[in-house]
Structure 1
């Protein structure tokens, strides 16, 4: 299957492209990086350059495509409070533009499948845990709001006919594939391994570190994209949570210290009003797609992240 991957040169996109190629698919990519910029090596057939909001660029990239893995997005929660309009324009508006271009490109051809990289941030902080896909969304930040709008746009198009679609609502993604880890040090694991590598003097933590979050290896997530793309869907639109390992902030620090053999000094800040536990119910994706995490133990998540950071600090 010829598959367009948007955001292919990002942390998740890198893993998804590799899994698609390994499964025998033909990945083509759209990147907003300039045409003369050097690109990391990936097993792709063709590279198109353009913004996700540029319908003309999208139409060219979508020629002959039977599937789309849509990963291009702005993803930083804290930043979204400072730039809410841009997050809405890229994450929601870009998805709508992609769907418009796909409708034009695939008119009269086989029904294409779209897999959207969504997020658990659409749920907000529900009291009932673990979080199932039927939980009523209540995003608590502009990032989650923009991604929920993308979900809803995808659902509406799928139910109107013309595409089959899946939203993968990912929890916290970590690990590494082919030397690429998560570079966003606003997140707990990238920041903790960076402290262990000596790039920062300490890690700041709100409260006592007992807050629990759900983590999944980027390679396990990439397998979910392939399974969702290949599934024989009986309904036009499906939503799946993708999570794996529940861990507290303190457990993460302890594991980074154990894996790296380095100290991770922690400065405790005053507690903030945050949910004590946010974890995924993954029974639906396990039942429907046969997906299960294989590389998402806390030790492997952190070990793979550490291998990239430590190699870069030598």
Structure 2
């Protein structure tokens, strides 16, 4: 199947392109610029460029929509930009798909839409409670996708992803890259509170595999499905630090800052995705994620 991947030069997008090709599909990479070479035919377009989008979707059979803005804290400072790109860009893509007669869509959303529910692990039955503009912009995009599916012109699968990690993670602000940097440089790692906050880490390849499963198991036209995609495991900040120490053989000094107003635990229950997509998190135990993270400067050798 010819599959357009928006945001194809991003951290997750590159993994999705690779796994689609490995599964026998023909991925087509949509990027905003040609700065990063990809092992796939590439089309340059912006989500806010309607003419460019119509050219980008020409001749494709399905779309994996990963393009957009993803930083929660940044979204609080510039919310309109997040709604413009994440919500408006998705609507523009839906318009281009409808004009081209493309009816299959897999959309990258976020598990943060559930906010801070008391019930853990989280399931798809929980109410939506987006805690920041980033999550709200993704939820609004989901509503647009669901409404379009309701017309009978679209078959849509939404994947609400937990904390994607592992591989060549390019974001130095995330915990695992920060822990490796501290081990590598001998610097201290600053953490909020006592380090007991628990999160659900999802291996980058498991996240990408969910998109392949979504493409290969689309619902009938007119249906809209939503899945929570995570490991189903909880790892604290201290667990992550210990795993990096095991991997590198180096101690990491911690500096404990005042606690931040954040949930004590956010863990997914991926049972629905495992049963219905079907998909499973095969590589998302913490040690596997950590062992796969340092592609360069491997400190254990």
- The alignment's TM-score, normalised by the length of structure 2, stands at 0.95
Which residue of 145, 155, 176 corresponds with 1:189?
Answer: 176
1:25 and 1:3 mapped to 2: Cα distance? 7
Does the aligned pair in 1 maintain the 2:9–2:38 contact within 8 Å?
no
Q: Is residue 238 of structure 1 aligned with residue 233 of structure 2?
A: no
Which residue in 2 is equivalent to 1:257? 245
Which residue of 190, 213, 228 corresponds with 1:227?
Answer: 213
Does the aligned pair in 1 maintain the 2:7–2:66 contact within 8 Å?
yes
- CA deviations over 1:160-191 (Å, ceiling 9, x no partner): 12110011000000011xxxx22212221121
Which residue of 154, 160, 185 corresponds with 1:163?
Answer: 154
Q: Secondary structure at the match of 1:305?
A: coil
2:159 and 2:180 mapped to 1: Cα distance? 27
Please report how far the alpha carbon of residue 310 of structure 1 lies from its aligned counterpart in structure 2 after TM superposition. Answer: 2.2
Which residue in 1 is equivalent to 2:135? 144
2:12 and 2:47 mapped to 1: Cα distance? 17
The farther-off stretch of 290-299 and 113-122 is: 290-299
Q: Secondary structure at the match of 1:295?
A: coil
2:133 and 2:188 mapped to 1: Cα distance? 29
Does the aligned pair in 1 maintain the 2:46–2:52 contact within 8 Å?
yes
Q: Secondary structure at the match of 2:200?
A: strand
2:278 and 2:217 mapped to 1: Cα distance? 10
User: Which sections of structure 1, spanning at least 5 residues, go unmatched?
Assistant: none
2:159 and 2:201 mapped to 1: Cα distance? 14
Does the aligned pair in 2 maintain the 1:203–1:264 contact within 8 Å?
yes
User: Which sections of structure 2, spanning at least 5 residues, go unmatched?
Assistant: none
Does the aligned pair in 2 maintain the 1:194–1:309 contact within 8 Å?
no
- Alignment root-mean-square deviation, CA: 1.6
- CA deviations over 1:60-110 (Å, ceiling 9, x no partner): 11111111000111111111112111111111111011001111111xxxx
1:264 and 1:52 mapped to 2: Cα distance? 42
Which residue of 280, 287, 292 corresponds with 1:304?
Answer: 292
Does the aligned pair in 1 maintain the 2:113–2:139 contact within 8 Å?
yes
Q: Is residue 272 of structure 1 aligned with residue 267 of structure 2?
A: no
Does the aligned pair in 2 maintain the 1:65–1:112 contact within 8 Å?
no
Which residue in 2 is equivalent to 1:30? 30
Structure 1 residues 258 and 311, CA, compared in 2 at 3 Å: closer, same or farther? Answer: closer
Does the aligned pair in 1 maintain the 2:104–2:155 contact within 8 Å?
yes
2:82 and 2:250 mapped to 1: Cα distance? 37
Q: Secondary structure at the match of 2:255?
A: strand
> 4+ residue stretches of structure 1 with deviation over 4 A?
none
Please report how far the alpha carbon of residue 40 of structure 1 lies from its aligned counterpart in structure 2 after TM superposition. Answer: 2.9
Which residue in 1 is equivalent to 2:56? 61
Which residue of 33, 37, 40 corresponds with 1:40?
Answer: 37
